[in-house]
């Protein structure tokens, strides 16, 4: 077994779900074939057991000690072989499961990184969660089941051949009886799946309800209403209980049927075997073999049903995965180059002078976001970077030179220092300077291990204001040629906001920076302010000038004061 | 950072609870077990019949084949029917116990002390509510019945074997030590191995979700290579953990399988020897051999499920642990006389030796509006929580009408002081449900008035279903700003005489926020309001302003006075307002 993950998962075949599964199978052909080999051997050993045991009983009947020892030894040998092939089959099954699941994680993560900003626009969070939670497991299972599935077909055929060679009617009975038994439980599956779906749905609702209570626990504990919620949860919980009992209603019938249906076959096979034995056509021991064959067949039979189920689920899961894999980024770059300089969005008229700290104050926040998106090339627009059209630059270069930091940009799980200095190039001193500029030293100082502390759950343990300041640190440490900050201080208090505004100019001295904000504390400390109304620049100047000259601006930034 | 803040129950508590739970419905349990037992007995009749058949054939006794076949079929039919009712009965019982288990857990969560809830945050509790409840459900639904049934079947089969021939029981005993020793070895390592495996797997899927959800940030900061490395690293850890448990199984499975096959071989061999010597009958040998074979299934099921039982036990320990949080207040007997809120020389530390408040004294007059401003981390929110009675001070006292807040029973406390933070949460349910939390018996008029007081009536009525609109997860999306309005409306309904607002309007558009605060002030006229503010007009509109810096109140007084004093508040005001403060009216 080679170690996983593969360094390069390869290029998936995304033409259809089946092709995707096939591509996976092809990528792991050697381990898959080895696994199928062991699984087949494992089933065959089990299929031979009844015959050998029958011979043993025959030897007992005949009081033939030498034959008894011989057959007992063979039986023990088969037992050893079964243990060996069993564990090898299991090892290969796990390996194949993991290989396919891991590969799917790899290609999905790589695709997500490639799509970038395009992805959230096209995909709901639910679909993503589904890939992580169940799809990779289903794709793994579809590989795993191939091992036992193929083996069980071989086992059924083998037993049938043995039985046919003993007695044609008996063999035919098994040949047709076994699939019939498999089909006979079919009508139960539909209501079972329906009730299971209902149970899953209710369970999901109940979990949501519980999570809802926990998430709002502070509110509840602060103001009361616990009894109302406890009552509601209890109602939901009782619904889940009833749904569970309804599932068990069908499930229990299925369990019973899985004893009764093969039981009929066992009874008939044993009956026929007995009549042969009465007629002296077969030795008595072989009667025991017949019985054991019929009992044995239950195993492979169930495996076949399982295979149908798992392959179907794998197919559905593969469909969801290839939907993600077949997406293409919205925007692509060119091959041009730019010496940099003035960055200008011609629709709004927003112009960023190199080296300046420019503020954009819009009366509608969406306008500022749209401008930031165009300047950072997250949206199509008529933007010039120096003398070059921004859309002609390679995408990679645009991202390297112009960074848009918005409040949706999340922190990632990992050691804090690594998550702030994402390029890993800053010195400790530079990190602390950035922390100081964003007034975030207190956050780090409060952590048990300072900068080495782990950021868990994508920073959700930090408060909104803390997350915002850490995001600002990260943006400052990226130190791009042009930095566009969208509402970087919306969640911090006035004192801190004033300090950040003061330090931001120093931290970005000589570099081009744009801040979208309507906070006077920040606006007052920028070099130049552009006032945007209706998506276009209406007035510009310093904060003080605009306060005096533009009543609309004054109204926007003084927040209804006066 | 993923701190385990809440306690975990110890082994003794878990065992005691599991025992109580199992025996809570003795009748149902007995019925379920009896049905399973009968089903096992029915299943054991067939090999016995077969053994008889083999003997009869051997001795030339006339055999009616049709009757034999019908009898075998009949007993299997009976077994099938018994299994059906047994499974149903145990599922009924299991679902019932499970429902009680999760309901009791939620009750415990809802009863957690205020200070724990405020400090612990949601992370640990959410994990317990989702992952541990799920994992325990799996255990109760599958592992517990499967192991119980397997045990019953196993014991009955052994019993049947003893009935057939105690002598032929001997070969079974050889297998005992093999299975016992290998299983002990395995179980000692399995639990940690599987916990590590699950954690690594969860890390991997969470990493994937993070990459997908944060895809824009990945692009913006060019983190593609890092995310790729992170994914592959996570997969590597997961594979290492899986390989470890696979290694455990690679040693355990063959040993157990050997334990299964030894009795079968030994029974044939020894049975043949005994038969030759005339110690046992042929039918006994045949039946015993089949029973030896039939023992494999329950034993195998039992062994396969016991590590799942261990995992369920770990989850149960975490669910029960919530009950181990000590209550943070003992209600005293004294009743507040009046509404005067007083903090006297208050110190408080979240971690030992690191006080965040250094001897703060403050008197808030009834009906006064006090604004608290200051840099983040200065202790404003902590002081707010102390004034709301969430935490008790380390030294000093916080009293209302002379009675310490932490001596008040919770329900009384809420009648005096309420806290609203910037944390906005909209509960799943209708808008009306979301408001009635504060006062379940409030009439529609009161609800409307409360909404009107927070400027929310217009948008609520504009919704197609008005107050009946479903909100929260899966329902109509309520913006953070509207959610804050709802939180404030709740407060109006609850109507305590003192309110602590910690950045309670921070997410609302600045201009709307000021309107809201003004209309709220009209409704709350006569109430005491302590507002921790992020926007300075709140301070400007208040009766008094307290500047909190470095765990102390450094300036305290009316807005004009502080501006005139020229201290840090004045500096802030000037820069925020953009005009010299004294010209402002």
d(CA B405, CA B417): 9
Instruction: Please check the confidence at residue B560 and state whether its pLDDT lies above 50.
Output: yes
**Residue B580: predicted pLDDT:** 46
Q: Kindly list the residues from chain B whose CB atom is less than 8 angstroms away from the CB atom of residue A68.
A: 268-269, 272-273
Asked if A213's CB is within 8 angstroms of B106's CB, the reply is yes
- Are residue A21 and residue A64 in the same domain, yes or no? yes
Contact A288, B290 (CB under 8 A): yes
The answer to whether residue A129 neighbours chain B at the CB level (below 8 Å) is yes
**Residue B3: predicted pLDDT:** 46
Asked if A212's CB is within 8 angstroms of B222's CB, the reply is no
Write the pLDDT tens digit of every residue in B369-406: 999 988 777 888 889 988 988 888 889 999 988 899 88
Mean of per-residue pLDDT scores for chain A = 88
Asked if B376's CB is within 8 angstroms of A496's CB, the reply is yes
Give the chain B residue nearest A69 (alpha carbons). B269
Selecting from A87, A106, A496 the residue whose C-beta is nearest the C-beta of B254 gives A87
The answer to whether residue B442 neighbours chain A at the CB level (below 8 Å) is no
Q: In what order do the strands lie in the sheet with A512-516?
A: A402-405, A482-486, A512-516, A357-362, A528-533, A536-541
Give the chain B residue nearest A248 (alpha carbons). B88
- Are residue A53 and residue A141 in the same domain, yes or no? yes
Selecting from A230, A491, A561 the residue whose C-beta is nearest the C-beta of B110 gives A230
- Mean pLDDT for the stretch of residues B545-572: 90
Task: Tell me the backbone φ, ψ of residue B295, rounded to 5 degrees.
Answer: -70, -25
The answer to whether residue A9 neighbours chain B at the CB level (below 8 Å) is no
- Are residue A137 and residue A182 in the same domain, yes or no? no
**Residue A404: predicted pLDDT:** 94
Selecting from B2, B222, B289 the residue whose C-beta is nearest the C-beta of A400 gives B222
Contact B89, B35 (CB under 8 A): yes
Asked if B114's CB is within 8 angstroms of A222's CB, the reply is yes
Q: Which residues pair with A530 in a beta bridge?
A: A360, A540
Q: Give me the sign of the Cα torsion angle B252, B258, B260, B263.
A: negative
B339 backbone φψ class: left, alpha, beta (φ>0; ψ -120 to 50):
alpha
**Residue A561: predicted pLDDT:** 45
Between residues 80 and 119 of chain B, which touch chain A (CB distance below 8 Å)?
80-81, 83-88, 91-92, 94-96, 98-99, 102-103, 106-107, 109-112, 114, 117-118
**Residue A162: predicted pLDDT:** 84
Q: Which of A199-203, A402-406, B358-362 has the lowest mean pLDDT?
A: A199-203
Selecting from A233, A245, A263 the residue whose C-beta is nearest the C-beta of B73 gives A263
pLDDT above 70 covers a percentage of chain B that reads 94
Look at strands A536-541 and B498-502 and give their pairing. Answer: unpaired
Closest to B127 in 3D by CA, of B4, B7, B235, B1: B4
Closest to A225 in 3D by CA, of B442, B464, B210: B442
d(CA B347, CA A435): 29
Asked if A5's CB is within 8 angstroms of B215's CB, the reply is no
**Residue B581: predicted pLDDT:** 39
Write the pLDDT tens digit of every residue in B427-444: 888 899 888 888 888 888
Asked if A225's CB is within 8 angstroms of B262's CB, the reply is no
Q: Kindly list the residues from chain B whose CB atom is less than 8 angstroms away from the CB atom of residue A274.
A: 53, 57, 63, 65, 68-69
Q: Which domains does chain B have, with CATH numbers?
A: 7-165+280-328 (1.20.1560.10), 341-583 (3.40.50.300)
Q: Kindly list the residues from chain A whose CB atom is less than 8 angstroms away from the CB atom of residue B99.
A: 237-238, 240-241
Contact B300, B146 (CB under 8 A): no
Closest to B218 in 3D by CA, of A472, A120, A113: A113
Q: How far is B103 from chain A (nearest CA, A)?
A: 6
Place of tokens 């054939």: B57
Between residues 223 and 252 of chain B, which touch chain A (CB distance below 8 Å)?
223-224, 226-228, 230-232, 235-236, 238-239, 242, 246, 249-250
Write the pLDDT tens digit of every residue in B56-74: 888 888 878 888 889 989 9
A3-27: b or e for each residue (b if 16 or more CB lie within 10 Å)?
Answer: ebbbeebeebbbeebeebbebbbeb
Find the CATH number of the domain harbouring A537: 3.40.50.300
Q: How far is A171 from chain B (nearest CA, A)?
A: 18
The domain tally of chain A equals 3
d(CA B336, CA B340): 9
Write the pLDDT tens digit of every residue in A287-298: 778 878 877 887
Q: Which of A130-134, A138-142, A444-448 has the lowest mean pLDDT?
A: A130-134
The answer to whether residue A339 neighbours chain B at the CB level (below 8 Å) is no
- Are residue A501 and residue A387 in the same domain, yes or no? yes
Residue A290 lies in a domain: no
Confidence of residue B454 (pLDDT cuts 50, 70, 90): confident
Q: What are the CA-CA distances from residue A297 to residues A30, A256, A401, A467, B290 (Å)? A: 29, 17, 67, 60, 16
d(CA A282, CA A274): 9
The answer to whether residue A521 neighbours chain B at the CB level (below 8 Å) is yes
Write the pLDDT tens digit of every residue in A242-277: 999 999 999 999 889 988 988 888 888 888 888 888
- Are residue A489 and residue A413 in the same domain, yes or no? yes
**Residue B205: predicted pLDDT:** 83
Any alpha helices (H) in B495-558, and if so which ranges? 510-523, 536-541
- Are residue A113 and residue A6 in the same domain, yes or no? yes
Instruction: Please check the confidence at residue A196 and state whether its pLDDT lies above 90.
Output: no
Asked if A230's CB is within 8 angstroms of B107's CB, the reply is yes
Selecting from A68, A223, A560 the residue whose C-beta is nearest the C-beta of B272 gives A68
Q: Which of A119-128, A392-401, A442-451, B374-383 has the lowest mean pLDDT?
A: A119-128
Q: How far is A128 from chain B (nearest CA, A)?
A: 7
Asked if A241's CB is within 8 angstroms of B53's CB, the reply is no
Find the CATH number of the domain harbouring A27: 1.20.1560.10
Q: How far is A289 from chain B (nearest CA, A)?
A: 11
- Are residue A370 and residue A273 in the same domain, yes or no? no
Confidence of residue A102 (pLDDT cuts 50, 70, 90): very high
Write the pLDDT tens digit of every residue in A31-49: 999 999 999 999 999 888 8
Instruction: Please check the confidence at residue A230 and state whether its pLDDT lies above 60.
Output: yes
- Mean pLDDT for the stretch of residues B278-289: 88
Asked if B511's CB is within 8 angstroms of A560's CB, the reply is yes
Confidence of residue B123 (pLDDT cuts 50, 70, 90): low
**Residue A172: predicted pLDDT:** 83
d(CA A104, CA A137): 10
Q: How far is A161 from chain B (nearest CA, A)?
A: 23
Q: How far is B345 from chain A (nearest CA, A)?
A: 24
Write the pLDDT tens digit of every residue in A440-476: 988 888 787 888 888 766 666 677 778 889 999 999 9
- Are residue A23 and residue A137 in the same domain, yes or no? yes
d(CA A496, CA B374): 8
More confident residue, A92 or A459: A92
d(CA A155, CA A149): 10
Q: How far is A540 from chain B (nearest CA, A)?
A: 17
- Are residue A32 and residue A120 in the same domain, yes or no? yes
The answer to whether residue B204 neighbours chain A at the CB level (below 8 Å) is yes
Q: What are the CA-CA distances from residue B553 to residues A331, B19, B575 (Å)? A: 54, 55, 21
- Mean pLDDT for the stretch of residues B12-20: 88
Residue A200 lies in a domain: yes
Residue A562 lies in a domain: no
Query: By residue range, what is the domain housing residue A238?
Result: 168-280
Write the pLDDT tens digit of every residue in A518-552: 888 899 899 999 999 999 999 999 999 998 999 99
Q: Kindly list the residues from chain A whose CB atom is less than 8 angstroms away from the CB atom of residue B436.
A: 225, 228
Q: Provide the CB-side half-sphere exposure for B378 (13 A, CA).
A: 23
Give the chain A residue nearest B92 (alpha carbons). A245
| First-to-last C-alpha distance (Å) of chain A | 75
H/E stretch holding A339: none
Write the pLDDT tens digit of every residue in B502-551: 877 766 666 677 777 777 777 778 889 999 887 777 888 889 999 998 88
Asked if B58's CB is within 8 angstroms of A72's CB, the reply is no
Q: Which residues pair with B395 in a beta bridge?
A: B347
Write the pLDDT tens digit of every residue in B79-108: 999 999 999 999 999 999 989 988 998 998
Q: Is B204 helix (H, G, I), strand (E, B) or coil?
A: helix
Between residues 247 and 286 of chain A, which touch chain B (CB distance below 8 Å)?
247-249, 251-253, 255-257, 259-260, 263-264, 266-268, 270-271, 274-275, 277-278, 284-285
Closest to A88 in 3D by CA, of A143, A48, A31, A134: A31
Which token pair is A386?
């120096």
Asked if A115's CB is within 8 angstroms of B375's CB, the reply is no
d(CA B112, CA B120): 11
Mean of per-residue pLDDT scores for chain B = 85
Give the chain B residue nearest A240 (alpha carbons). B99
The answer to whether residue A116 neighbours chain B at the CB level (below 8 Å) is yes
Instruction: Please check the confidence at residue A90 and state whether its pLDDT lies above 90.
Output: yes
Residue A113 lies in a domain: yes
Q: Give me the sign of the Cα torsion angle A320, A325, A326, A329.
A: positive
Selecting from B223, B224, B235 the residue whose C-beta is nearest the C-beta of A102 gives B235
Domain end, chosen from A263, A280, A297, is at A280
Instruction: Please check the confidence at residue B32 and state whether its pLDDT lies above 60.
Output: yes
Q: Is A159 helix (H, G, I), strand (E, B) or coil?
A: helix
The DSSP secondary-structure symbol of B546 reads E
Selecting from B99, B433, B491 the residue whose C-beta is nearest the C-beta of A237 gives B99
**Residue A535: predicted pLDDT:** 92
- Are residue A114 and residue A63 in the same domain, yes or no? yes
Instruction: Please check the confidence at residue A431 and state whether its pLDDT lies above 90.
Output: yes
Which token pair is A353?
């002078």
Asked if A396's CB is within 8 angstroms of B414's CB, the reply is no
Residue A502 lies in a domain: yes
The answer to whether residue B327 neighbours chain A at the CB level (below 8 Å) is no
**Residue B170: predicted pLDDT:** 85
d(CA B114, CA A195): 40
Q: Kindly list the residues from chain A whose CB atom is less than 8 angstroms away from the CB atom of residue B570.
A: none
**Residue A127: predicted pLDDT:** 67
Instruction: Please check the confidence at residue B272 and state whether its pLDDT lies above 70.
Output: yes
d(CA A95, CA A86): 14
Which token pair is A428?
């400790």
Size of interface A-B (CB pairs under 8 A): 495
Instruction: Please check the confidence at residue B311 and state whether its pLDDT lies above 80.
Output: no
Instruction: Please check the confidence at residue A360 and state whether its pLDDT lies above 90.
Output: yes
- Are residue A100 and residue A207 in the same domain, yes or no? no
- Are residue A243 and residue A180 in the same domain, yes or no? yes
Selecting from B215, B473, B536 the residue whose C-beta is nearest the C-beta of A212 gives B473
Asked if B69's CB is within 8 angstroms of A210's CB, the reply is no
Instruction: Please check the confidence at residue A562 and state whether its pLDDT lies above 50.
Output: no
Instruction: Please check the confidence at residue B583 and state whether its pLDDT lies above 50.
Output: no
A175-208: b or e for each residue (b if 16 or more CB lie within 10 Å)?
Answer: bebbeebeeebeeeeeebeebbebbeebbebbbb
For residue A41, whether the previous peptide bond is cis, meaning omega lies within 30 degrees of 0, is: no
């Amino acid at each position: 077994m080679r170690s996983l993950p593969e360094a390069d998962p390869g290029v998936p075949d995304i033409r259809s779900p089946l092709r995707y599964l096939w591509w996976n199978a092809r990528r792991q052909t050697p381990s898959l074939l080895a696994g199928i080999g062991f699984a087949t051997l494992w089933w065959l050993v089990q299929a031979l057991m009844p015959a050998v045991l029958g011979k043993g009983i025959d030897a007992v009947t005949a009081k033939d000690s030498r034959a008894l020892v011989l057959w007992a030894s063979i039986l023990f040998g088969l037992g050893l072989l079964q243990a060996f092939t069993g564990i090898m089959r299991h090892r290969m099954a796990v390996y194949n499961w993991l290989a396919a699941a891991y590969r799917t994680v790899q290609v999905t993560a790589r695709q997500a990184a490639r799509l970038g900003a395009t992805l959230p626009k096209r995909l709901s969070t639910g679909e993503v969660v589904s890939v992580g939670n169940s799809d990779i497991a289903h794709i793994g299972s579809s590989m795993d089941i191939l091992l036992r599935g193929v083996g069980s077909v071989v086992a059924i055929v083998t037993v049938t051949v043995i039985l046919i060679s003993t007695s044609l009617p008996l063999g035919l009975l098994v040949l047709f009886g076994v699939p019939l038994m498999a089909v006979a439980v079919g009508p139960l599956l539909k209501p079972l799946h329906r009730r299971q779906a209902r149970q899953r749905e209710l369970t999901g609702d109940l979990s949501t309800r519980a999570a809802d209570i926990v998430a709002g626990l502070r509110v509840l504990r602060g103001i009361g209403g616990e009894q109302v919620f406890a009552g509601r949860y209890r109602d939901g919980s009782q619904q889940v209980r009833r749904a569970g009992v309804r599932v068990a209603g069908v499930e229990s019938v299925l369990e019973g049927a899985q004893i009764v249906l093969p039981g009929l076959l066992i009874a008939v096979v044993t009956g026929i075997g007995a009549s042969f034995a009465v007629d002296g056509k077969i030795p008595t021991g072989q009667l025991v073999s017949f019985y054991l064959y019929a009992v044995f067949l239950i195993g492979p039979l169930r495996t076949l049903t399982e295979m149908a189920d798992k392959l179907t689920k794998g197919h559905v899961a593969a469909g969801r995965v290839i939907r993600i894999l077949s997406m293409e980024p919205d925007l692509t770059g060119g091959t041009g180059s730019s010496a940099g300089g003035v960055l200008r969005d011609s629709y709004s008229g927003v112009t960023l002078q190199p080296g300046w700290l420019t503020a954009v104050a819009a009366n509608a926040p969406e306008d500022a976001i749209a401008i930031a998106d165009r300047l950072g090339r997250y949206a199509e627009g008529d933007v010039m970077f120096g003398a070059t059209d921004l859309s002609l630059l390679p995408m990679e270069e645009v991202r390297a030179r112009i960074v848009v930091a918005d409040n949706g940009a999340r922190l990632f799980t990992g050691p804090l220092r690594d998550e702030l200095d994402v390029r890993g190039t800053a010195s400790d001193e530079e990190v602390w300077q950035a922390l100081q500029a964003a007034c975030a030293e207190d956050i780090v100082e409060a952590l048990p291990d300072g900068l080495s502390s782990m950021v868990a759950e994508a920073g959700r343990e930090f408060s909104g204001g803390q997350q915002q300041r850490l995001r600002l640190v990260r943006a400052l440490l990226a130190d791009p040629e042009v930095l566009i900050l969208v509402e970087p201080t919306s969640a911090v208090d006035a004192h801190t906001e004033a300090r950040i505004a003061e330090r931001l100019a120093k931290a970005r001295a000589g570099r081009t920076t744009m801040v979208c904000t309507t906070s006077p504390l920040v606006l007052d400390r920028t070099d130049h302010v552009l006032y945007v109304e209706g998506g276009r620049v209406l007035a510009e100047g310093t904060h003080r000038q605009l306060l005096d000259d533009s009543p609309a601006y004054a109204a926007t930034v003084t927040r209804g004061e006066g | 950072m993923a701190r385990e803040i809440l306690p975990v129950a110890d082994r003794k508590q878990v065992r005691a609870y599991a025992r109580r739970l199992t025996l809570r419905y003795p009748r149902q349990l007995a019925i379920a077990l009896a049905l399973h037992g009968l089903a096992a007995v029915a299943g054991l009749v067939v090999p016995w019949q077969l053994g008889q058949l083999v003997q009869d054939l051997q001795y030339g006794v006339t055999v009616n084949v049709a009757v034999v076949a019908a009898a075998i079929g009949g007993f299997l039919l009976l077994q099938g029917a018994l299994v059906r009712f047994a499974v149903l009965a145990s599922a009924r019982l299991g679902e019932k116990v499970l429902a009680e288990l999760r309901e009791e857990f939620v009750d415990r969560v809802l009863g957690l002390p205020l200070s724990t809830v405020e400090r612990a945050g949601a992370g640990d509790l959410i994990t317990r509510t989702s992952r541990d409840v799920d994992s325990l459900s799996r255990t109760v639904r599958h592992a517990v019945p499967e192991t119980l049934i397997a045990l019953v079947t196993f014991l009955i089969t052994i019993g049947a074997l003893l009935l057939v021939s105690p002598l032929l029981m001997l070969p079974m005993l050889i297998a005992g030590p093999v299975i016992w020793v290998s299983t002990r070895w395995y179980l000692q390592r399995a639990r940690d191995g599987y916990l590590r495996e699950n954690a690594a797997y969860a890390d991997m899927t969470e990493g994937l979700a993070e990459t997908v959800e944060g895809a824009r940030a990945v692009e913006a900061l060019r983190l593609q290579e890092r995310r790729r490395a992170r994914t592959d690293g996570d997969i590597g850890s997961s594979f290492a953990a899986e390989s470890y448990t696979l290694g455990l199984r690679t040693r355990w499975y063959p040993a157990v399988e050997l334990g299964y096959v030894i009795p079968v071989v030994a029974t044939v061999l020894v049975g043949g020897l005994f038969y030759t010597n005339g110690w046992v009958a042929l039918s006994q040998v045949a039946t015993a051999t089949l029973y030896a074979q039939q023992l494999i299934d329950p034993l195998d099921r039992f062994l396969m499920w016991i590590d799942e039982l261990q995992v369920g036990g770990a989850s149960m320990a975490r669910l029960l642990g919530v009950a181990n949080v000590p209550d943070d207040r003992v209600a005293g007997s004294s009743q507040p006389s009046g509404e005067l809120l007083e903090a006297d020389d208050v110190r408080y530390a979240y971690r030992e030796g690191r006080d965040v408040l250094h001897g703060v004294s403050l008197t808030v007059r009834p009906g006064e509006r006090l604004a608290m401003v200051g840099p983040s981390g200065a202790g404003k929110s902590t002081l707010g929580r102390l004034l709301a009675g969430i935490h008790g001070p380390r030294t000093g006292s916080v009293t209302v009408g002379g009675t310490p807040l932490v001596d008040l029973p919770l329900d009384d406390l809420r009648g005096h002081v309420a806290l609203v933070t910037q944390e906005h949460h909209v509960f799943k349910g209708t808008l009306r449900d979301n408001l009635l939390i504060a006062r379940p018996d409030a009439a529609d008029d009161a609800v409307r008035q409360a909404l009107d007081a927070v400027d929310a009536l217009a948008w609520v009525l504009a919704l197609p279903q008005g107050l009946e609109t479903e909100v929260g997860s899966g329902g109509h999306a309520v913006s953070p700003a509207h959610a804050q309005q709802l939180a404030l409306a709740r407060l109006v309904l609850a109507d305590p005489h003192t309110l602590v607002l910690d950045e309670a309007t921070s997410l609302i558009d600045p201009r709307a926020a000021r309107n809201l605060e003004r209309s709220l002030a009209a409704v709350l006229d006569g109430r005491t309001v302590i507002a921790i503010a992020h926007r300075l007009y709140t301070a400007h509109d208040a009766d008094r302003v307290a500047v909190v810096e470095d765990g102390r109140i450094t300036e305290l007084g009316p807005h004009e006075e502080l501006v005139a004093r020229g201290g840090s508040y004045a500096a802030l005001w000037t820069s925020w307002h953009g005009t010299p403060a004294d010209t402002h009216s």
